[in-house]
Amino acid sequence: MGRVYHKLLLKTTGKYYAAYYTGIPAAWILSNLSIKTLNPDLKWYFKDLRNIKKLRIIDPACGSGTLLSGIYMALKDKYIFDRYSDENPKALNLIGFHKLMLENVLNGWDILDYAGHLTLTNIALHNPDSTFISSNIYILPIGDTTGKGTLYLGSLDYLDTTRGQQLSFKEYITLPKKKGLDIEKEKMLSVPKQSMDIVTMNPPFSRSAQPNIKFGFVGKKTMIDMNKKLRKLGSDLKYKAIGKAGLGAYFIILADQLLKPGGRLALVIPRSILSGPSWKEIRKRIFLDGYEIEYIVSNYDPGNKELDIQPWNWS
């Protein structure tokens, strides 16, 4: 389903939001490295569902849910391995596992309604025999949704220190007196800092040279105001020279704020992060000062247009 979504929308709606969706190979390798790489400090042993229930994993730009789906499968593999490699192996509870993943473990944020719907559908279809009551997939507002001058930046609103680690999200409710009539209502989502064990993402990487696609389908004035708000967020956080790096730099700051000390950050990033001057503050203040880099993976598969094989070019 995700592949159909990428095929139909990547060249239309997706490009206006700099939404270049994650390929299956990238999601698979990121997810497996995140879950299965040994690290004695993490003490991840998942033979018991109670240990899995404590995990918190987020993709703050979830798109069609490819990365979260990859995490689901990698964690399921780890659960099966740990369960059966125990001295006293017990029967699997995959229905319980599925319910925990949807209701407790996996979190996804996006600004596009159909992206959130597809993320939830993709994850739910991993075990259609299991039921769940709720999920943590949220659609966040973007632009001036009320017409009153209140600007939203989607997931990046989390960086706004005046919001107190709260985000607005869109909820759809059915009016009781008019059957079938849905209205959109905004509610608040509270997410503590340093609350996630894994942050995985392929954030939008529109550059400052392409401001027309940075915030998608918004009016020119709104777009200018949103760029001003974004720059102010960076300045308030003492990042003053990351504007040319584009949205990706802000998403890395967001991931750093969400991640627990000792947690894992798995992300798709442009190669320019290694030497680009606009990425200097991100390299120094986040990766060099605060992280131990476990893997750098790069792929140059050119694909084949004649056979309709897409190039998987990612880092």
Task: Provide the pLDDT for residue 175.
Answer: 42
CB atoms within 10 A of CB 304: 10
Which 8-state DSSP code applies to residue 210? -
H or E element in which residue 313 lies? strand 312-314
- AA letter at 67: L
3-state SS class at 230: helix
CA distance 239 to 279: 10
Which 8-state DSSP code applies to residue 180? T
Task: Provide the pLDDT for residue 61.
Answer: 94
Tally of domains in the chain: 1
Which 8-state DSSP code applies to residue 37? S
**Positions of the chain with pLDDT under 70:** 1-21, 171-186, 206-219, 301-304, 307-315
Closest CA to 48 of 15, 2, 88, 7: 88
Contact 159, 193 (CB under 8 A): no
Q: Could you report the per-residue pLDDT of 261-288, keeping only the tens digit for each? A: 999 999 998 888 888 899 999 999 999 9
- Residue ranges making up the domain that contains 65: 2-314
| Full 3-state SS string of 60-84 | CCCCCCHHHHHHHHHHHHHHHHHHH
Task: Provide the pLDDT for residue 145.
Answer: 75
CA distance 236 to 262: 26
Which distant-in-sequence residues (6+ apart) come within 8 Å of 177 by Cβ?
Answer: none
> Left (φ > 0), alpha (ψ -120 to 50) or beta: where does 297 sit?
beta
Identify the CATH number of the domain in which residue 118 sits. 3.40.50
Which 8-state DSSP code applies to residue 286? I
